[in-house]
Amino acid sequence: EVATPSGERAPRDVIRIGAFNIIDANGNYLAYNNGNLSELPRQPAGSYTSWASDLANASSGMYQFGIDPTGPTGGSFLAAIIDSPTLEERWHQGGYVGYAITAVGVFALLLAVYRLIALSMISSKVNAQLKASSANTNNPLGRVLKIHEDNPSMDPETLELKMAEGVMRETPKLESGLTLLKIIAAVAPLMGLLGTVTGMIITFQAITIFGAGDPKAMAGGISSALVTTVLGLLVAIPTVLLHTLVNGRAQRVIHLLNEQATGIIAEHSETSHK
């Protein structure tokens, strides 16, 4: 008879491997406690259960199998692996602060991807404008060049001011979203620290009420409190890298606008002097 995690008991075919490891015919690891067999509430992750199933249904040959090396002491190693939370459970341990950090991180990622796509399209239009003979207003460079086309006889000083105004008008559009990415990169670790501090407060309150007789429970509470710090860093580090990437794309376009505007002003000034 084998007990399921819900407490129901039913007969099964079981296979003992060595003296301290036992599985059923479906490859589920079993535990032996006080003369009773029970299915582990959580099976080992990875390929262990499939290896166990292959071994259970084999009649001959050599097969891989995951053996608990601490079997004589009660299977403590396997129990420790099973008790270790998964990534999803770790994420849920962050609580509401962890959910907020995740939402901020997803927003930062979507914003960065959107700005990268937008700047890539703008860059391709600017490159096409460099090869064109007339200004096209569907790109920042074309709109700046249009100022010179509309004012061919303007004096150099006034033209310089108007061209500078045109570049300044285009700059905020190109740098859109950069400030928000920078703020998210700075705020995410602070949100993680907030979650850690609140988690530590709850942990120490529990210690005050129940005492510190169980170091394992105290360590588990501290570990849960630190999850938000990890989440904050996982959001902040990629956001800093994405901000650098997006800012580099935007600055290349802005530099090209300033370069072309300066060249046009110099050429216009030279022509007017002649």
Residue pLDDT, tens place only, 122-154: 999 999 988 888 888 889 988 998 888 888 788
pLDDT at residue 73 in the model: 60
Which residue among 27, 53, 84 closes a domain? 84
Q: Let me know whether 255 and 162 are in one domain.
A: yes
Written as six digits, the tokens of 72 are: 């004589």
Mean pLDDT, rounded, for 155-168: 88
State the pTM of this model.
Answer: 0.76
Mean pLDDT, rounded, for 52-73: 82
pLDDT in tens, 5-47: 888 888 999 988 887 788 888 888 888 878 888 888 888 877 8
Helix (H) or strand (E) holding 37: strand 36-39
Query: What residues form DSSP beta bridges with 31?
Result: 38
pLDDT at residue 274 in the model: 63
pLDDT at residue 36 in the model: 86
Written as six digits, the tokens of 1 are: 């008879």
Three-class secondary structure of residue 219 per DSSP: helix
pLDDT band with cut points at 50, 70 and 90 for residue 212:
low
pLDDT at residue 33 in the model: 78
How far apart CA 267 and CA 229 sit, in angstroms, is 56
Cβ-based neighbour number of residue 171 at 10 Å: 17
pLDDT at residue 32 in the model: 81
Q: Let me know whether 68 and 99 are in one domain.
A: no
Q: Let me know whether 144 and 207 are in one domain.
A: yes
Q: Which has the higher per-residue pLDDT, 214 or 62?
A: 62
pLDDT at residue 149 in the model: 86
Are 125 and 238 a contacting pair, CB within 8 Å?
Answer: no
CA 68 to chain centre: 34
Structural domain count of the chain:
2
Q: Let me know whether 254 and 135 are in one domain.
A: yes
pLDDT band with cut points at 50, 70 and 90 for residue 233:
very high
Q: Quote the domain boundaries for residue 78.
A: 2-84
pLDDT over 60 at 107, yes or no: yes
pLDDT over 60 at 74, yes or no: no
Q: Let me know whether 259 and 143 are in one domain.
A: yes
Q: Let me know whether 79 and 134 are in one domain.
A: no
Q: Let me know whether 123 and 175 are in one domain.
A: yes
Which residue among 52, 84, 116 closes a domain? 84
Q: Let me know whether 183 and 253 are in one domain.
A: yes
Are 139 and 129 a contacting pair, CB within 8 Å?
Answer: yes
How far apart CA 255 and CA 97 sit, in angstroms, is 40
Q: Let me know whether 149 and 266 are in one domain.
A: yes
Q: Let me know whether 129 and 64 are in one domain.
A: no
Query: What residues form DSSP beta bridges with 17?
Result: 21
Q: Let me know whether 260 and 186 are in one domain.
A: yes
Which residue among 84, 115, 140 closes a domain? 84
Q: Which of 1-10, 207-216, 218-227, 241-250 has the lowest mean pLDDT?
A: 207-216
Q: Let me know whether 178 and 265 are in one domain.
A: yes
Are 255 and 248 a contacting pair, CB within 8 Å?
Answer: no
Mean pLDDT, rounded, for 221-248: 91
Written as six digits, the tokens of 120 are: 């890539």
Q: Which of 99-108, 156-165, 178-187, 242-251 has the lowest mean pLDDT?
A: 156-165
